[in-house]
Amino acid sequence: MRLFSLVLALACILASALAWDKEDYEIFDLQSGIEATEGKGITFYSWLDVPSTASSSEIAKAYRKKSLQLHPDKNPGVKDIEARYARLGVVQKILRSENRERYDFFYKNGFPRWRGTGYYYSRFRPGVVTVLAFLTLITAGLQHMVHRMNYSRDVARVERIITAARRAAWGPKLVRVEGRRKVKVNIGGESAQVDEDGHEYGMGRFLDLVVDGDSVWLLEANGDLTPLDSSVATKPSWGRTWPVALGLSLVGRFFPKAAEGHASTTEALDDTEQDDSEVPSGYSTPSGRTAGKANGAAKRRKSARK
């Protein structure tokens, strides 16, 4: 729902931005220039000192009067007087042409705060480096947002599996039962049926799990137990975005020693996480293997990785 709302908002902004044409941009520029030199809230009409219902002849008369006041020859040394005088001529031209209807629309409904990327790009004209930096920031931000969405989805999925395992071990009312219980949990695939006690049966993809108190373990094919909790989901990190990954790749190519140091640090952190996730000492799997053997398998996996 949030993604849909975001897409809808972006679509509305894009549609409104595409609605502005060259004449609109000219009006935007004039309005911004008038407020910058004449004062905040000054409009085409208030600058000429005429009402918004003034006729074309009344606007022409007001323009002649105002142009005499702002003529550069009568205001030597006044800052920006030439620009103000030229702007006044464009204003009266708009108000005496068919573009007046367009200006009246913004005059009555207000000027948009966002005027489209084309408008701002043509005014400020950022350099190539600025554009690339902006695009990099935007794409990295979008990628990070996708990572956050995937993380939330994975955590919710893990929680559903844990709840299903407890329901299979303790019953639909989740009345806690002491002792270790091995259960199978359907995680999808072909549709499965549910009996009157809430247990799933039939076709589907199943996971072998072990429920022991508040802990839920994933039973591997070789008998090892892996803790199942929200930590199995990959947390979003700016370090996983493409600019950082590209930077590390370039560092590894041109500075191998620095890359090896980074790899050693990452591996040490992975080993620490693996040690934290090992089965507690003395715990035996349903196949009869002890925790020591399971932990030994984990250590062998580390050695193989090295």
Q: Are 230 and 159 in contact (CB under 8 A)?
A: yes
Q: Which residues contact 43 (CB under 8 A, 6 or more apart)?
A: 31, 34, 107
Q: Band of the pLDDT at 25, cuts 50, 70, 90?
A: confident
* Rounded distance between C-alpha atoms, residue 24 and residue 107, angstroms: 12
152 DSSP assignment: H
Nearest to residue 207, comparing CAs of 171, 158, 246?
158
Say yes or no to pLDDT of 260 above 70: no
pTM of the model: 0.45
Q: Are 291 and 284 in contact (CB under 8 A)?
A: yes
Would you state the structure tokens that stand for residue 279, as one six-digit string? 């089965």
**SS3 breakdown of the chain: % helix, strand, coil, rounded to 5?**
60, 10, 30
Q: Band of the pLDDT at 264, cuts 50, 70, 90?
A: low
* Rounded distance between C-alpha atoms, residue 150 and residue 236, angstroms: 8
Q: Do the bridges between strand 205-212 and strand 200-201 make them parallel or antiparallel, or are there none, so unpaired?
A: unpaired
Q: Are 209 and 217 in contact (CB under 8 A)?
A: yes
Nearest to residue 31, comparing CAs of 17, 47, 18?
47
pLDDT digits (tens, 9 = 90+) for 141-151: 999 999 999 99
Nearest to residue 48, comparing CAs of 93, 105, 91?
91
* Rounded distance between C-alpha atoms, residue 41 and residue 154, angstroms: 52
Chain length of the chain? 306
CA atoms within 13 A on the CB side of 72: 10
* pLDDT at site 294: 41
Nearest to residue 183, comparing CAs of 131, 144, 220, 219?
219
Say yes or no to pLDDT of 153 above 60: yes
Say yes or no to pLDDT of 6 above 90: no
* Rounded distance between C-alpha atoms, residue 55 and residue 62, angstroms: 11
Q: Are 211 and 181 in contact (CB under 8 A)?
A: yes
Say yes or no to pLDDT of 300 above 50: no
Say yes or no to pLDDT of 231 above 70: yes
* Rounded distance between C-alpha atoms, residue 139 and residue 305, angstroms: 33
Would you state the structure tokens that stand for residue 232, as one six-digit string? 């199995």
Say yes or no to pLDDT of 21 above 50: yes
pLDDT digits (tens, 9 = 90+) for 52-94: 999 999 999 999 999 999 999 999 989 899 999 999 999 999 9
pLDDT digits (tens, 9 = 90+) for 114-129: 655 555 555 555 667 8
Q: Band of the pLDDT at 269, cuts 50, 70, 90?
A: very low
CB count within 10 Å of CB 232 equals: 14
164-176 mean pLDDT: 87
Would you state the structure tokens that stand for residue 182, as one six-digit string? 């091995």
73-102 in b/e form (b: 16+ CB < 10 A) is eeeeeeeebeebbebbeebbebbeeeebeb
